[in-house]
Amino acid sequence: MAKRKRDVADKGGAAQALKSRREEIVAPPKQAAAKSKDGAVQGTATATMGKAPSVSAAIATDAESESTTVQIITGSYERVLHGFAATIPRSLVTGQHDAAIATESEDSKVDFTDTFLFNAHASAIRCLALSPLSEDTSKVMLATGATDERINLYSLSTAPPAPSKSQPRLPSLHGASITENPKNKELGSLLHHSSNITALYFPTRSKLLSAAEDSTVAITRTRDWTALSTIKAPIPKPQGRPSGDTAGPGEVPSGVNDFAVHPSMKLMVSVGKGEKCMRLWNLVTGKKAGVLNFGRDILSAVGEGRFGSGEGRRVIWDKEGEEFAVAFERGVVVFSIDSKPKAKIAPTPRTKIHQMHYLPSDSHPTLLLVSTEDGRVMLFDTSDTLPNSEGPSKDDIPSSRLVAQIGGPAAGITGRVKDFEILPLSPSDSANFLIVTGSSDGTIRMWHLDTTELNGDVKADQGKGFTARQVARLLGTYKTGTRVTCLKAFVMTGTPDTEEEEVVAEKSADSSSGDDSE
């Protein structure tokens, strides 16, 4: 009997020793699990307080990095939709760096990271559109149009992907790193048109306007991607063709080249192929509001001769909606709100015009940027015109004054600037802008423009040829390897989502501690 009691006591002591040893090994995970369990019992207030340090830590990390991340999307002739993020150090924007140190230090350079790269269409991509940014959501919609009659839709995240500590950065052949964002998703395709897509625009986050060579402008609701209305422009009569010509459909030039919506969202101006006029549309009723023909004085002012097409290629409204500009092949005419020509823009030497944008600045609201065939981005002031050397004439349209230029042969850049984008670097700072240009050779250049450089007096002898003064500073260059046709960009205002990795790590630690305790 005494022997049996002694054996039971020995077994109990061995089990207790084994249990205490196991508790010593698994003590830290158990304490963490107990802390998390206590926090869950305390209620919602404790959970909210637990999230606050992670958010503040993310903000502190972003403040410490002092950088701005820009998402750039390009379309090309090779059907490739290429997206990459550019991280710009704050020292490059503020200019608080030494040029000699900047060439040696890696921290003072723009860091490019590929985010997506794939064949989005069956043929060349012609236009892109981004929905306006919103504080309520961290997503932006991207629409792409090509010559395959399709409009592809994507959802992009405004938060740059956080660098993962567990996964290594993927290598690439051209040196730039690759970081995939799982929040970027494909939404589908629209088949509202029966011809090549020429222009896309998001006036708000709830509507998408698309134009094509079938002479229609479709208005689509983004909630369910239903076509609400279709504006049909008349097909122009063929000019300069023999009578009795039996040309089939598609052989006579027709379609909408471009359109621009007034800031009030009630009026739209469109220009089309094969017609020497622009059309005004009432967006409230969806019907035409008028037609303005281009006279001989307007066409001759922009270099459209007798055998020229005379059609408008681009059209854009200014920020306030007080004037709009129509771009032809080799010139631009600025119209006031009463549709009367106000000024003309004719680059010297004569060259083709590809894109134009108004500078979104309160101090320079009438500054129009125009990209050309010879690699320049020219800055014209539409409110300041040059006096006519031959004396005042009733039919002559005054020329806008050339304020400055960016790039061009004087800066060693000769490739055509196919498209460009203007981004404010900060909502509170209206003096500094980032200009992203895309050339046909696949080179993307990022320029920093300080509007204080434009306040100087412009001499009368400047502005002829390539002698205009150079403004903006080149921050970085990226080569895509494709022939760029269109470009869009936006500042990534979101914070990197690092909470998911922390939650997954805590869950794995809790599960491992639970397995050990069992």
> DSSP per residue over 355-375, as a string?
EEEE---SS-TTEEEEEETTS
Q: Are strands 125-130 and 399-407 parallel, antiparallel or unpaired?
A: unpaired
Asked whether 316 and 372 are in contact (CB, 8 A), the reply is no
Backbone torsions φ then ψ of 171, nearest 5 degrees = -80, 160
Q: HSE on the CB side for 263, CA within 13 Å?
A: 9
- Residue boundaries of the structural domains of the chain: 69-162+170-235+254-494
Which pLDDT value is given to residue 169?
55
**Calpha distance 377→434 (Å, rounded):** 13
> Strand 151-157 and strand 67-76: pairing?
unpaired
The pLDDT of residue 221 is 96
Q: How far is CA 110 from CA 5, 265, 290, 424, 478, in A?
A: 78, 37, 48, 17, 10
What distance in Å separates the CA atoms of residue 39 and residue 50, rounded to the nearest whole number? 8
Residue with tokens 């809790």, as numbered in its chain: 510
Count CB-CB contacts under 10 A for residue 119: 10
Q: Could you say which residues of the chain have pLDDT below 70?
A: 1-65, 95-107, 161-176, 239-251, 388-395, 456-465, 496-518
| Structural contact between residues 420 and 377, judged by C-beta atoms closer than 8 angstroms | yes
Whole-number Å distance between alpha carbons of 358 and 366:
7
Residue type, position 258, single letter: D
Name residue, tokens 């689509």: 220
* Residue 216: C-alpha distances to residues 86, 151, 210, 286 (Å): 36, 14, 8, 12
For 69-162+170-235+254-494, which CATH superfamily applies? YVTN repeat-like/Quinoprotein amine dehydrogenase (2.130.10.10)
Instruction: Confirm if 312 and 328 have CB atoms less than 8 A apart.
Output: yes
Q: Which amino acid is at 421?
A: E
Report pLDDT for 327. Answer: 97
Residues near 400 by Cβ (< 8 Å), separated by ≥ 6?
A: 334, 343, 344, 345, 368, 380, 381, 382, 384, 385, 386
Residues 6+ apart with CB under 8 A from 92: 102, 108, 110, 448, 475
The pLDDT assigned to 375 comes to: 93
Question: How many residues in total does the chain contain?
Answer: 518
Q: Evaluate whether 120 touches 153 at the Cβ level (below 8 Å).
A: no
DSSP letter string, 160-191: PPPPPSSSPPBP-TTS-EE---TT-EEEEEE-
pLDDT digits (tens, 9 = 90+) for 206-260: 999 999 999 999 999 999 999 999 999 988 877 666 666 666 665 677 899 999 9
Helix (H) or strand (E) holding 256: strand 256-261
pTM of the entire structure?
0.79
Strand 432-439 to strand 226-232: parallel, antiparallel, or no bridges (unpaired)? unpaired
Dist. CA 258–CA 186, nearest whole Å: 26
Instruction: Compute CA distances 43 → 210, 504, 507, 510, whole Å.
Output: 50, 22, 19, 20
